[in-house]
Amino acid sequence: MIQRLFQVCCALLCMMSNTTLSAILEPPFCGEEGVWIQVLRAGALRYADTSTSSSYLVWKDGEAKLLVDAGQGAALRFDEADADISDLDAIAITHLDRENTSDLWAFLRASDAGKRLTLMGPFDEDADFLSSFAGVELASTRPSVRSISAVGRKRWAEFGNAELRTAAIPVDHGDTRGLAWRITVGEQAITFTGDFSNQKNLVADFAKGSDALVANLGVPEEARGASRDAFALPSEIGRIASRAHVRMLILGARRTHTRPRVTNLERDRSTLSRPGHDRRRP
C-alpha cells in the first residue's frame, strides 16, 4: 500500500510554488524514490500572468522521465528543479499552440546526443509544425517523432520502455483538436487531459483507476458561448474524476478567472525578500 501512495502534499506544494505565496515557501522535495508529479507551470499564456503556461514533469526514483507540454517557462523550471535532460525519455504534447510548445525548442536543443528523445503529439493537425524544425540547431541526435491522430475516438498506445508506458486519445477543444495522455510508471497511472471540452465523453473511461487526474481548468462554472464550448466546466471535471475513481485531482491551466483570489495579506507577504533558493528536486 505504501508503494502505491503518492505524496499528495508534494503535488500541492509544487502547484503552490506558482502562486504569489512562492516567495515565502521553501522549494518542495519529494524524495529520491517513487513516482512523482511536478507542476512546472500551472497557468495560461496571458499578459501579466505570472504562472504562465502549463507544463508537468513525471519523476521516477529521482529521475525526470517524461515532460507533458513545454509551455513558456517550462525550460527554466526544469533547470531550477535540478532535472537532467539526459534522463528524459519523452515529451508528450497535448495541443499544437504556443501555450504548449513555446519552450519545446529549448528542450530539443539541449537533448543528450547519446540518447534519442521521443517527441509525441498531434502533429498531423498542423502540416507546417514539424517543418518548422528546419534550420533549428538541435542536438546531433534528432528526436524520434510520433505523430498521433487527434481525429475520432481511437486510443493510441505505441510508445513505452522499461520505465514507462504511454497512451493517448483524441479530445476536442473548441474548433481545435488535441490529445489527452495516460502515463503508466510501474503500478502508478497519471492522466493529463490538456485543454478539453469532453464532447466525445471519453476522458472518464480513459482515466479510470488513475492515481492522479491532471485536468486543465480553463473556465468558471458560469462560462457561456465559445469558452464553454472549448473547456469542460468545473462540475464536469468533478464528474469525470468521480466516475473514473481517481485518487487525486490536480487542476492546471488556471486562468485569472479560475484562480483563487489573493488576499491583501498574501499580496503583502509576496513582496518580502525571497529566501535563498535551493536547487532541489520535487
One pLDDT digit (tens) per residue for the chain, 282 residues: 333 333 333 443 333 333 333 333 444 566 678 899 998 876 555 544 554 578 899 999 999 999 999 988 889 889 999 999 999 999 999 988 778 888 888 888 887 656 788 999 998 877 677 766 655 555 556 788 899 999 999 999 999 999 999 999 999 877 778 999 999 999 999 999 988 888 889 999 999 999 999 998 878 887 777 666 778 888 999 999 999 999 999 988 655 555 554 444 344 433 333 334 444 455
DSSP H/E element including 36: strand 35-41
Query: Cα separations (Å) of 161 from 149, 157, 207, 275, 281?
Result: 21, 12, 21, 40, 23
Question: Is this structure's pTM higher than 0.95?
Answer: no
Q: What is the pairing mode between strands 90-92 and 63-68?
A: parallel
Q: Residue 125 carries which side chain, given as an amino acid letter? A: E
For the chain, domains (ranges, CATH) are: 2-21+32-260 (3.60.15.10)
| C-beta separation of 232 from 199 below 8 A | no
* Alpha helices (runs of H) in 36-88, residue ranges in sequence order: 74-80
Question: Which DSSP symbol is given to 53?
Answer: B
Handedness of CA 208, 214, 220, 223 (dihedral sign): negative
Q: What is the rounded CA–CA span in Å between residue 110 and residue 89? A: 13
Interior angle at CA 233, CA 175 and CA 156, nearest 5: 55
- Scan for cell 504548449, then name that residue: 100
Q: Give the count of alpha carbons within 13 A of 115, CB side only.
A: 12
Interior angle at CA 29, CA 181 and CA 32, nearest 5: 75
Q: What is the rounded CA–CA span in Å between residue 108 and residue 90? A: 11
Q: What is the rounded CA–CA span in Å between residue 262 and residue 62? A: 33
